Amino acid sequence: MLKKLFKSFLDYKRYLNNSIKSEIIFFSEGNQHWTHLKFLIMPLINEYKVSYITLNMNDLGLQLKHKNYSSFFFGNLLILNLFFQNNNSKYLITSLPDLGKLYFRKNKNDCKFIYIFHSLASSHTQYLKDSFDNFDIILCAGPHHFNEIRKSEDFYNNKKKILYKYGYPRLEEISKLKCKMKFNINKQHILIAPSWGENSITNICLEEIIENLILNNYTVIFRPHNMSLIENKKKIRNLQKKFSNNDAFIYDNSNSSVESLLKADLMIADWGSTGSDFSLGLEKPVIYIDTPTKIRNKEYKNISNTAFEFEIREQIGTILNLNKLSNLPSLISQILKNHDKDNFLEKKNKFLNNYVYNYLNSETEGMKIIKQIMR
């Protein structure tokens, strides 16, 4: 705790004395955000002065070195409050929603707050009703984000934000790594990558699934959501202890790494967005355990009855009822045996056309958008 406080204080002092006066500030909670922010940062630092502020000492964004780039760790609430009260940058870009809550607030300076999505999940279901109300500019990953935000503005009579058709470069990055995919000849690897919250696999049926799969000669990779590492800390720790000596169990707490995605033959998910990265990026099958729907906005039907995460389960994935978990090993075997890559590719491309902007060109488009904003 003292180490973080001391580091935050020194970095804030360095930030105030920084000779590089940044035109753009990026704000991150950790690697799960760096994974998405880097696609804008890397091209921008060749032309603009950029600062990067993170709440996590292990954020990869702290390791980047460039003459136009400065990074800072503000892991203390007092320091964060000071920063946001005195922020005088022109633009702040983040993939953290809920602007206007806790320390994450605007001051009276005319800084434009820009949001980019860190998943393809719909904005009116997986987020709170007002999660995006206070942003000035939003870079949408797909048409569903654009339409959901406009409908929300109209329904609740909120201020109109400037919306751009950006895309989702994370998906493109994963897709380019297909050549590095592992092929498991002797034992198939199953990745369990749940969402977080009371209706997640982690809370409802995780141990049962792991035991069942290991018993049926599968290797299980468990990759918890970073929020579950906080909310379900004790449960995950007990799970690690139980399977720590079992070679068929692999624990991956990287959250943003793609290694587990490349290694796995099939993914088991619930309502999280990693399933879409896995299926659309790597063209591998996903089984969605039909846990109770994860809805953070109870008024979501005011905007739309459907959502991205509903549609991808129906169109791209396979849904398994909670009461039929005992059928999981045989279902996996059947899916892997009959996985038609050509048919899957056709379904994937059709889905991408409906839900993702500028596929395979979003990084270039992102640079154009930021330049346009700054002009």
Task: Quote the CA–CA distance of 261 and 256 in Å, as a whole number.
Answer: 10
The answer to which of 34-38, 47-51, 117-121, 224-228 has the lowest mean pLDDT is 224-228
**Which of these, 332, 337, 334, 339, lies nearest to 219 by C-alpha position?**
332
Question: For position 20, what pLDDT does the model report?
Answer: 65
Write out pLDDT tens, residues 103-156: 899 988 889 999 999 999 999 999 999 999 999 999 999 999 999 999 999 999
Mode of pairing for the β-strands spanning 112-116 and 162-165? unpaired
Continuous segment of H or E residues that includes residue 24? strand 24-28
SS3 letters across 192-250: ECCCCCCCCHHHHCHHHHHHHHHHCCCEEEECCCCCHHHHCHHHHHHHHHHHCCCCCEE
- Of 177, 171, 126, whose CA–CA distance to 359 is shortest? 171
Cβ(373)–Cβ(114) below 8 Å: yes
Average confidence (pLDDT) over 265-285: 93
**Which of 358, 281, 278 is CA-nearest to residue 318?**
278
Model confidence pLDDT, tens digit, residues 240-262: 999 989 999 999 988 777 899 99
Q: Which whole number is the average pLDDT over 194-205?
A: 91
Quickly count helices (H) and strands (E) in the chain.
15, 13
The dihedral formed by the CA atoms of 357, 363, 364 and 370, expressed in degrees to the nearest 10: 90
275 and 228 inside one domain: yes
Lowest mean pLDDT among 39-53, 228-242, 299-313: 228-242
- Same domain, yes or no: 194 and 123: no
Query: Looking at the structure, do residues 162 and 14 belong to the same domain, yes or no?
Result: yes
Location of structure tokens 């591998």:
284
Whether the predicted pLDDT of 282 surpasses 90: yes
CATH number at residue 24: 3.40.50.11720
Same domain assignment for residues 94 and 133: yes
Query: Alpha carbon of 289 to those of 180, 217, 295: distances in Å?
Result: 28, 20, 16
Which residues 6+ apart lie within 8 Å of 148 measured at CB?
Answer: 122, 123, 124, 303, 304
Q: Do residues 323 and 178 both lie within one domain?
A: yes
Q: How does residue 92 score in pLDDT terms, banded at 50, 70 and 90?
A: very high
CATH number at residue 190: 3.40.50.2000
Beta bridge partners of 220: 190, 249
Own/partner pairs for 86-91, CB < 8 Å, 24+ apart?
A: 87/25, 87/111, 89/22, 89/23, 89/24, 89/25, 89/51, 90/23, 90/24, 90/374, 91/23, 91/24, 91/25, 91/373, 91/374
Residues 184 and 206 in one domain: yes
Assess whether 249 and 346 both reside in one domain: yes
d(CA 32, CA 225): 10
**How many Cβ atoms from other residues are within 10 Å of residue 320's Cβ?**
17
Confidence band of 187 (pLDDT split at 50, 70, 90): confident
The answer on 238 and 114 residing in a single domain is no
- Is residue 283 domain-shared with residue 227, that is, in the same domain? yes
Domain count, the chain: 2
Backbone angles phi, psi at 333, to 5 degrees: -60, -45
Q: Which residues, listed in sequence order, are joined to residue 319 by a DSSP beta bridge?
A: 288
Q: Same domain for 35 and 158?
A: yes
What's the one-letter identity of residue 305? N
Half-sphere exposure (CA, 13 Å, Cβ side) for 178?
Answer: 12
User: What's the pLDDT tens digit per position in 319-361?
Assistant: 999 999 999 999 999 999 998 888 888 999 999 999 999 999 9
Query: At 182, is the pLDDT very low, low, confident or very high (cuts 50, 70, 90)?
Result: confident
Q: What is the span of the domain harbouring residue 85?
A: 2-168+358-374
Q: Are residues 140 and 210 in the same domain?
A: no
Same domain, 96 and 228: no
